[in-house]
A = this chain, B = another copy of it.
Amino acid sequence: MRKSAVRELYTVGRLCVLAVGVLASTTAGADDDLMSAARQIFKPIPSIVPAVKDNPITHEKVTLGKTLFFDPRLSASGVISCNTCHNLGTGGVDAGPKSVGHRWQLGSRRAPTVYNAVFNVAQFWDGRAADLKAQAAGPVQASAEMNATPARLLNTLNSMTDYIVMFSKAFPNDATPVTFDNFAKAIEAFEATLITPAAPFDQYLEGDPYALSAQQKAGLKLFIEKGCSSCHNGINVGGQDYFPFGVMERPTASLLPRDDKGRFAVTKVPGDEYVFRSAPLRNVALRPPYFHSGQVWSLKQAVGVMSEIQLGAKLNDTEKDDIVAFLNSLTGQLPKIDYPILPTRTDTTPKPSMDK
């Protein structure tokens, strides 16, 4: 989407909210109208695992996917698992702006969260993977991340009987169940279970006006009114489309490194320079630092940056606090994870390789 189109979108969004404001003559009426507006813009996270295209979710597949997700031996070094960078204990992300990969190489962008990732329009900040299955195939092979190859991965999996059995159970109709494609499918199935329903905001969207505090409602109103929801909407309060970073003002080079042109690298369309998938804001309070560059550590500061750079609006302190209060209402129930006991390596399992 072009900058001018985004600016138009903001105008439409504001008019809607203004209409809501004008219609409401009483506080109760305003409250009802806010909920009604919110329900048009956002959707609650379902409490059941969503269906995934071409990949029926089964218990066996999820169990396998969880085991793979936590297995560091799928990396060349034997040290890095999916969970290293997408840590399920810390909001589905790691601690810092750049993830640490093979031989301490640093990634180029902030790790995106795996929680609720199934609801995003596509995966990665630039949407270069159409779905979680395509995403799962990336890091395991990336030389700066897990640095394995599909061949090494399959050798590793085929060296352990327990994995062979788990693949057979997860893909009972396949003549050769242990494949790179099925590896990715199993991880996708597990990640589809990583949804966080029942946040206060979900309860609100489902009709409970008391689920949000007065401050959170004020923040929600601002979030719509100021235009944040023009880009951050849908189930994930973001993650559903692509927008330029820097609509009204160009971010500093530390926030928007000039050599990372975002979605342009995927589409090669000039208008997609510095365009990124809007950040999904579910559980956003759990996972600083923020932005694809991971350079902002406080949520309040991130709200300030976004309002100025994207909306050309300078929020006052109270407004920022209100929006942060609303964003805190997006923290849902994280699923309970039993830490998996991994299959035991055998004499034929590839040994860790610390080399380049």
Contacts and interface: CB of A to CB of B under 8 A. Distances in A.
A336 interface: yes
Contacts of A100: 77, 79, 354
Interface string A81-101: 000100111110011100010
A237 to B, nearest CB: 18
Contacts of A336: 338
Interface stretch (A13-21, A68-76, A200-208, A218-226): A68-76
Contacts of A340: 89
Interface in A316-356: 334, 336-342, 344-345, 347, 351-352, 354
Contact of A104 (B73, B90, B103, B351): B103
Given A72-B95, A96-B352, A337-B338, A297 B347 contact: yes
Copies, count: 2
B71 A94 contact: no
A72 to B, nearest CB: 6
User: Which label, helix, strand, loop or mixed, suits the secondary structure of the A interface?
Assistant: loop
Given A103-B104, A336-B338, A338-B339, A96 B347 contact: no
B90 A342 contact: yes
Q: Which of A70, A88, A342 has the most CB of B within 10 A?
A: A342
A345 B78 contact: no
Contact of A87 (B72, B106, B354): B72
Nearest to A72: B95
Interface of A: 70-73, 77-79, 84, 87-91, 94-96, 100, 103-104, 106, 285-286, 288, 297-298, 334, 336-342, 344-345, 347, 351-352, 354
Given A90-B342, A104-B104, A336-B338, 19 more contacts: A73-B90, A77-B95, A77-B100, A78-B96, A79-B84, A87-B342, A89-B339, A89-B341, A91-B344, A95-B345, A95-B352, A96-B352, A96-B354, A100-B354, A103-B104, A285-B344, A298-B347, A334-B341, A337-B339
